[in-house]
Protein backbone atom coordinates (compact mmCIF):
# COMPACT_ATOMS: atom_id res chain seq x y z
CA UNK A 1 0.00 0.00 0.00
CA UNK A 2 1.18 3.52 -0.71
CA UNK A 3 -0.45 5.31 2.18
CA UNK A 4 2.15 7.00 4.36
CA UNK A 5 2.05 6.81 8.13
CA UNK A 6 1.02 9.98 9.90
CA UNK A 7 3.74 12.35 11.09
CA UNK A 8 2.72 12.43 14.74
CA UNK A 9 4.99 11.16 17.50
CA UNK A 10 2.42 8.65 18.70
CA UNK A 11 2.83 5.05 17.54
CA UNK A 12 0.85 3.74 14.61
CA UNK A 13 -1.89 1.56 16.12
CA UNK A 14 -2.52 -1.60 14.13
CA UNK A 15 -5.53 -3.72 15.08
CA UNK A 16 -5.62 -7.41 14.27
CA UNK A 17 -9.08 -8.79 13.55
CA UNK A 18 -10.30 -12.33 14.15
CA UNK A 19 -9.64 -13.00 10.48
CA UNK A 20 -5.98 -12.10 11.20
CA UNK A 21 -6.25 -9.10 8.91
CA UNK A 22 -4.36 -6.01 10.08
CA UNK A 23 -6.06 -2.62 10.16
CA UNK A 24 -4.29 0.74 10.47
CA UNK A 25 -6.57 2.74 12.74
CA UNK A 26 -4.92 6.03 11.76
CA UNK A 27 -4.97 5.58 7.98
CA UNK A 28 -8.29 3.69 8.20
CA UNK A 29 -7.21 0.92 5.86
CA UNK A 30 -5.97 -2.65 5.93
CA UNK A 31 -2.21 -3.15 5.87
CA UNK A 32 0.25 -6.01 5.43
CA UNK A 33 3.41 -7.11 7.21
CA UNK A 34 5.38 -5.32 4.48
CA UNK A 35 3.53 -2.07 5.25
CA UNK A 36 4.37 -2.40 8.94
CA UNK A 37 8.04 -3.00 8.09
CA UNK A 38 7.96 0.13 5.93
CA UNK A 39 6.47 2.17 8.78
CA UNK A 40 9.35 1.09 11.00
CA UNK A 41 11.95 1.90 8.33
CA UNK A 42 10.40 5.36 8.08
CA UNK A 43 11.14 5.85 11.76
CA UNK A 44 7.65 5.30 13.14
CA UNK A 45 6.86 3.31 16.26
CA UNK A 46 4.23 0.65 15.76
CA UNK A 47 1.86 -0.99 18.23
CA UNK A 48 -0.11 -4.05 17.15
CA UNK A 49 -3.02 -5.13 19.33
CA UNK A 50 -5.77 -7.72 19.16
CA UNK A 51 -9.03 -5.90 18.40
CA UNK A 52 -11.15 -8.06 20.71
CA UNK A 53 -8.87 -8.72 23.69
CA UNK A 54 -6.52 -5.74 23.53
CA UNK A 55 -3.52 -8.08 23.82
CA UNK A 56 -0.27 -6.48 22.64
CA UNK A 57 1.02 -8.48 19.67
CA UNK A 58 3.83 -6.12 18.67
CA UNK A 59 6.70 -8.37 19.70
CA UNK A 60 5.19 -11.34 17.85
CA UNK A 61 4.93 -9.42 14.57
CA UNK A 62 8.36 -7.80 14.86
CA UNK A 63 9.89 -11.26 15.22
CA UNK A 64 7.92 -12.35 12.14
CA UNK A 65 9.29 -9.39 10.17
CA UNK A 66 12.84 -10.34 11.12
CA UNK A 67 12.15 -13.96 10.15
CA UNK A 68 10.86 -12.77 6.76
CA UNK A 69 14.04 -10.75 6.20
CA UNK A 70 16.17 -13.77 7.10
CA UNK A 71 14.23 -16.02 4.71
CA UNK A 72 14.86 -13.52 1.92
CA UNK A 73 18.61 -13.60 2.50
CA UNK A 74 18.74 -10.23 4.28
CA UNK A 75 20.67 -11.59 7.26
CA UNK A 76 21.48 -9.08 9.98
CA UNK A 77 22.72 -11.40 12.72
CA UNK A 78 25.44 -14.06 12.54
CA UNK A 79 24.20 -17.64 12.69
CA UNK A 80 26.02 -18.33 15.96
CA UNK A 81 24.23 -15.43 17.65
CA UNK A 82 20.82 -16.68 16.54
CA UNK A 83 21.76 -20.15 17.77
CA UNK A 84 22.83 -18.79 21.16
CA UNK A 85 19.59 -16.86 21.51
CA UNK A 86 17.55 -20.00 20.88
CA UNK A 87 19.72 -21.94 23.32
CA UNK A 88 19.26 -19.20 25.92
CA UNK A 89 15.50 -19.70 26.03
CA UNK A 90 16.03 -23.37 26.87
CA UNK A 91 19.02 -23.32 29.20
CA UNK A 92 18.26 -20.30 31.35
CA UNK A 93 14.75 -21.38 32.32
CA UNK A 94 15.88 -23.90 34.95
CA UNK A 95 18.64 -21.83 36.55
CA UNK A 96 18.21 -20.02 39.86
CA UNK A 97 20.05 -17.03 38.44
CA UNK A 98 17.91 -17.03 35.28
CA UNK A 99 15.43 -14.65 36.90
CA UNK A 100 18.20 -12.07 37.18
CA UNK A 101 19.52 -12.75 33.69
CA UNK A 102 16.06 -12.72 32.09
CA UNK A 103 15.19 -9.41 33.73
CA UNK A 104 18.36 -7.76 32.46
CA UNK A 105 18.51 -9.40 29.03
CA UNK A 106 16.24 -6.90 27.19
CA UNK A 107 18.26 -3.92 28.46
CA UNK A 108 21.52 -5.73 27.70
CA UNK A 109 20.50 -6.61 24.14
CA UNK A 110 19.16 -3.10 23.57
CA UNK A 111 22.48 -1.58 24.58
CA UNK A 112 24.38 -4.11 22.48
CA UNK A 113 22.35 -3.33 19.35
CA UNK A 114 22.72 0.42 19.90
CA UNK A 115 26.49 -0.09 19.84
CA UNK A 116 26.11 -2.27 16.75
CA UNK A 117 24.10 0.44 14.98
CA UNK A 118 26.58 3.18 15.87
CA UNK A 119 29.49 1.15 14.52
CA UNK A 120 27.54 0.33 11.37
CA UNK A 121 26.84 4.02 10.70
CA UNK A 122 30.49 4.87 11.29
CA UNK A 123 31.64 2.20 8.84
CA UNK A 124 29.20 3.32 6.14
CA UNK A 125 30.33 6.92 6.62
CA UNK A 126 33.97 5.90 6.20
CA UNK A 127 33.09 3.96 3.04
CA UNK A 128 31.36 7.06 1.67
CA UNK A 129 34.42 9.20 2.33
CA UNK A 130 36.59 6.54 0.71
CA UNK A 131 34.40 6.67 -2.39
CA UNK A 132 34.64 10.45 -2.67
CA UNK A 133 38.45 10.30 -2.60
CA UNK A 134 38.97 7.27 -4.83
CA UNK A 135 39.53 7.67 -8.56
CA UNK A 136 39.75 4.04 -9.71
CA UNK A 137 36.32 2.30 -9.49
CA UNK A 138 37.94 -1.15 -9.30
CA UNK A 139 40.16 -0.12 -6.40
CA UNK A 140 37.16 1.47 -4.72
CA UNK A 141 35.12 -1.73 -4.95
CA UNK A 142 38.04 -3.83 -3.69
CA UNK A 143 38.65 -1.50 -0.76
CA UNK A 144 34.95 -1.35 0.07
CA UNK A 145 34.62 -5.15 -0.02
CA UNK A 146 37.68 -5.56 2.18
CA UNK A 147 36.43 -2.97 4.67
CA UNK A 148 32.97 -4.53 4.80
CA UNK A 149 34.38 -8.02 5.36
CA UNK A 150 36.58 -6.72 8.16
CA UNK A 151 33.62 -4.91 9.72
CA UNK A 152 31.43 -8.03 9.58
CA UNK A 153 34.18 -10.10 11.20
CA UNK A 154 34.56 -7.55 14.00
CA UNK A 155 30.81 -7.47 14.56
CA UNK A 156 30.62 -11.25 14.80
CA UNK A 157 33.50 -11.30 17.26
CA UNK A 158 31.95 -8.49 19.31
CA UNK A 159 28.57 -10.20 19.55
CA UNK A 160 30.08 -13.59 20.35
CA UNK A 161 32.23 -12.18 23.11
CA UNK A 162 29.36 -10.21 24.59
CA UNK A 163 27.04 -13.21 24.52
CA UNK A 164 29.64 -15.47 26.14
CA UNK A 165 30.21 -12.98 28.94
CA UNK A 166 26.50 -12.81 29.56
CA UNK A 167 26.22 -16.59 29.60
CA UNK A 168 24.32 -17.08 26.33
CA UNK A 169 27.00 -19.23 24.78
CA UNK A 170 26.74 -22.07 27.27
CA UNK A 171 27.49 -22.38 30.93
CA UNK A 172 30.82 -22.96 32.56
CA UNK A 173 31.45 -26.48 33.86
CA UNK A 174 30.46 -26.86 37.44
CA UNK A 175 33.25 -27.27 39.90
CA UNK A 176 33.09 -30.41 42.02
CA UNK A 177 32.05 -29.86 45.60
CA UNK A 178 34.93 -30.10 48.10
CA UNK A 179 35.20 -33.46 49.80
CA UNK A 180 34.43 -33.47 53.51
CA UNK A 181 37.32 -33.83 55.93
CA UNK A 182 37.87 -37.39 57.03
CA UNK A 183 38.42 -37.20 60.76
CA UNK A 184 40.03 -40.06 62.65
CA UNK A 185 37.82 -39.72 65.75
CA UNK A 186 34.41 -41.33 65.94
CA UNK A 187 32.86 -38.15 67.38
CA UNK A 188 33.56 -36.10 64.24
CA UNK A 189 30.74 -35.83 61.69
CA UNK A 190 31.68 -35.72 58.01
CA UNK A 191 28.77 -33.49 56.98
CA UNK A 192 25.47 -32.14 58.23
CA UNK A 193 22.33 -30.81 56.59
CA UNK A 194 23.17 -27.31 57.85
CA UNK A 195 26.63 -27.48 56.30
CA UNK A 196 25.22 -28.55 52.95
CA UNK A 197 22.63 -25.78 53.05
CA UNK A 198 25.28 -23.18 53.85
CA UNK A 199 27.49 -24.45 51.03
CA UNK A 200 24.59 -24.26 48.56
CA UNK A 201 23.83 -20.70 49.64
CA UNK A 202 27.47 -19.71 49.23
CA UNK A 203 27.49 -21.22 45.74
CA UNK A 204 24.45 -19.19 44.69
CA UNK A 205 26.01 -16.01 46.09
CA UNK A 206 29.15 -16.73 44.09
CA UNK A 207 27.09 -17.16 40.90
CA UNK A 208 25.32 -13.85 41.44
CA UNK A 209 28.64 -12.12 42.13
CA UNK A 210 30.12 -13.58 38.95
CA UNK A 211 27.16 -12.26 36.91
CA UNK A 212 27.56 -8.81 38.42
CA UNK A 213 31.28 -8.80 37.58
CA UNK A 214 30.56 -9.87 33.99
CA UNK A 215 28.00 -7.08 33.65
CA UNK A 216 30.48 -4.51 34.91
CA UNK A 217 33.21 -5.74 32.54
CA UNK A 218 30.80 -5.73 29.61
CA UNK A 219 29.59 -2.21 30.45
CA UNK A 220 33.20 -0.99 30.50
CA UNK A 221 33.83 -2.51 27.08
CA UNK A 222 30.65 -1.01 25.63
CA UNK A 223 31.62 2.43 26.98
CA UNK A 224 35.02 2.14 25.28
CA UNK A 225 33.40 1.27 21.93
CA UNK A 226 31.20 4.37 21.94
Q: How far is CA 161 from CA 18, 97, 158, in A?
A: 43, 20, 5
How high is the pLDDT of residue 1?
47
Q: What is the pLDDT of residue 145?
A: 66
Closest CA to 13 of 34, 33, 32, 27: 27
Residue 172: its pLDDT value, please?
A: 46
pTM, rounded to two decimals: 0.44
- Sign of the alpha-carbon torsion through 121, 215, 162, 217: positive
Q: What angle do CA 213, 215, 221 make, to 5 degrees?
A: 105
Handedness of CA 35, 36, 41, 44 (dihedral sign): positive
Distance of alpha carbon 132 from alpha carbon 40, whole angstroms: 30
7/93 Cα distance (integer angstroms)? 41
Three-state DSSP string of 91-126: HHHHCCCHHHHHHHHHHHHHHHHHHHHHHHHHHHHH
Print burial letters for 59-79: b (CB count within 10 Å at least 16), e (below 16). Answer: eebeeeeeeeeeeeeeeebbe
* Mean pLDDT split into 10-residue runs, the chain, 226 residues: 53 93 93 94 93 93 86 73 71 50 54 66 68 58 66 66 56 51 51 63 70 70 63
Amino acid sequence: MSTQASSSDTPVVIKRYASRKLYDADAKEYVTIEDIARYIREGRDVQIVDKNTGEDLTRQYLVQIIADFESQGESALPLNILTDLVRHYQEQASSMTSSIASAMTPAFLGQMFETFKAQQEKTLSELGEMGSRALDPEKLMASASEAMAEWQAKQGEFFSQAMRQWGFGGTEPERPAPEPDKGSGQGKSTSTADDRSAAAGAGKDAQIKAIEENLKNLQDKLDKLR
